[in-house]
Structure 1
Amino acid sequence: MNPHLSIATVCLSGTLEDKLAAAAAARFHGVEIFENDLVASPWSPRQVRQECARRGLSIDLYQPFRDFEAVPPDVFAANLRRAERKFDVLEQLGATTMLVCSSVSRDAVDDDDLATEQLHALATRAERRGLRIAYEALAWGRFVNTYAHAWRIVRRADHPALGLCLDSFHVLSRATTPPASGSCPAPRSSTCNWRTRRACPSTWSSGAGTTGCFPASARSTWPASSARS
């Protein structure tokens, strides 16, 4: 089976219109919309959806949603309100996945139990609206900055609408060994992405028969049975 290849708009230069045209010309199947590109565009989210469809591109992900987890109750309540507004944008775009990157906020605390609880609550809200959350460890995250740590939190949250996003830049910039085949399955067959959005020494295999080549994303699904191994 051929991989579904997407490219993040943050990887391309020019206006959002330029970026969509370039992605379609390069025969990508979809795009990941970077929020700054949407904000700077004269198009509404619905217009972006129409322009992507006209070019034969799916919108696979909206990113990023920052500084969400492991925060005090008042900040958490505000973050949930902020998330609901982002969900509105996803629905208008026709996207079904929102990328949540690990927090760099001074409000965040080093508490995996709290991060797990709050991400589970976010995934529950996303699921009600037919959406999913992909959690990514930023290399400069305040407390969560490796994919292994992010994966532990995702596993503990154990929610069907919460999965893990792997990004080669954040993995390799910390000199972390890329995950071995089958070592990082997403729970309940959710999607685990090996995204090479920036230059890396070679093409890395996702472990499920697909690869990501700069600056694309390759999406793969691991069987749920391996999630508890």
Structure 2
Amino acid sequence: MTTEAMATLCLSGELMNKLEAIARAGFDGVEIFVDDLQSSGLSSRTVGDRCRELGLTVAALQPFRDVEALPPELHRKILDEAKRHFDTLAELGGDFLLACSNTREEAAHDHGRAAETLHELAELAAAREMRIGFEALAWGRHLFDYRDAWKIVRQADHPALSIVLDSYHILARELELETLATIPGDRIGLVQLADSPWPRGQDLQALSRHRRAFPGDGELPIDAFMTALERTGYAGPLSLEIFSDTLDVMPTGMAALQGKRALESLRSPKS
């Protein structure tokens, strides 16, 4: 059975309250947002223990930002940062780190170097019996298209590396879904779901940061995304990742329940 997860960033309040609300709503997984963990003042081990008490699998630690095709000095810093993230992930009891495409000016437009970076990161993950997933942000400096991310993941060619697919980053750019449908399901590490108002003509990063919505509450063709995803044979976690000013002021438990209903409605057979 597919894990249904929610990212802690979806909800208002303190981290422990978020975890409890996610569990009460009936989710069985959680993405731990690094900012939530850091601001909580709690140790990763304490948070991981609480997840296990609540019956929540740590589906991912995220985000690991600006990873690929950097100059040598910055590249070394990225590798060091990855090791710290894997230490945190081990204490949380998870095994999946979500890495995002680069937004920095220093990043090179070089798919070969990007693939080399991801291969190195995957080696670090594999040495710890962990995995890493790569996601193309819609506002990435050079990598903003899931099709390019998939090419680079294939070029990196490492069993500990997979692609992460986020409905917002794909649909907000109005990218075709036929390619998505051809990706083998076992090469997809995580699927994140979010809706939004129709994005054409808007700043995609600002829209993503403030006005994402639960699936079905916006104007993106989420059903088409899910149809293409089904063709891949993907059986991994489906996770809600909703940055929203509205959810920031909504009671934590209410928002978690709304998210669960939205995910269940999305997954229900259409008449």
Compute the TM-score of the two structures, normalised by the length of structure 2. Answer: 0.74
1:213/1:17 CA distance change after superposition, 3 Å: closer
- Inter-partner Cα distance in structure 2 for 1:30 and 1:212: 9
Could you report, residue by residue, the CA deviation over 1:133-166 in whole angstroms, capped at 9, with x for unpaired residues?
A: 1000000000000110100000111100000000
Aligned length: 215
Give the structure 2 partner of residue 22 of structure 1.
21
- Inter-partner Cα distance in structure 1 for 2:165 and 2:104: 21
Any idea what SS the aligned residue of 2:182 has? coil
- Alignment pair present for 1:196 and 2:193: yes
Structure 1: state its 5+ residue gaps: 219-229
Greater shift in the superposed pair: 73-82 or 150-159: 73-82
Any idea what SS the aligned residue of 1:135 has? strand
Give the structure 1 partner of residue 129 of structure 2.
130
- Alignment pair present for 1:11 and 2:10: yes
- Inter-partner Cα distance in structure 2 for 1:125 and 1:53: 25
User: How do residues 37-116 of structure 1 correspond to structure 2 at under 5 angstroms?
Assistant: 37-116=36-115
Contact 2:71 2:107 in 1 (8 A): yes
User: How do residues 147-158 of structure 1 correspond to structure 2 at under 5 angstroms?
Assistant: 147-158=146-157
Give the structure 2 partner of residue 34 of structure 1.
33
- The structure whose residues are more often strand, as a share, is 1
Higher relative contact order (CA 8 A, sep 6+): 2
Q: CA deviation at 1:182?
A: 4.1
Contact 2:191 2:239 in 1 (8 A): no
- Inter-partner Cα distance in structure 2 for 1:62 and 1:194: 14
RMSD, matched Cα: 2.2
- The structure whose residues are more often helix, as a share, is 2
The one-letter code sitting in structure 2 at the alignment partner of 1:98 is L
Contact 2:96 2:133 in 1 (8 A): yes
Contact 1:68 1:100 in 2 (8 A): yes
Any idea what SS the aligned residue of 1:83 has? helix
- Inter-partner Cα distance in structure 2 for 1:82 and 1:68: 10
- Inter-partner Cα distance in structure 2 for 1:49 and 1:209: 26
1:31/1:139 CA distance change after superposition, 3 Å: same
Could you report, residue by residue, the CA deviation over 1:6-45 in whole angstroms, capped at 9, with x for unpaired residues?
A: 1111112211112111111111011000001101113210
1:181/1:70 CA distance change after superposition, 3 Å: closer
Greater shift in the superposed pair: 126-135 or 208-217: 208-217
Compute the TM-score of the two structures, normalised by the length of structure 1. Answer: 0.86
Give the structure 1 partner of residue 165 of structure 2.
166
The one-letter code sitting in structure 1 at the alignment partner of 2:69 is A
Any idea what SS the aligned residue of 1:107 has? coil
Give the structure 2 partner of residue 118 of structure 1.
117
1:73/1:60 CA distance change after superposition, 3 Å: same
- Inter-partner Cα distance in structure 2 for 1:73 and 1:181: 33
- Inter-partner Cα distance in structure 1 for 2:46 and 2:190: 27
Q: Percent identity?
A: 40
Contact 1:33 1:59 in 2 (8 A): yes
- Inter-partner Cα distance in structure 2 for 1:149 and 1:30: 28
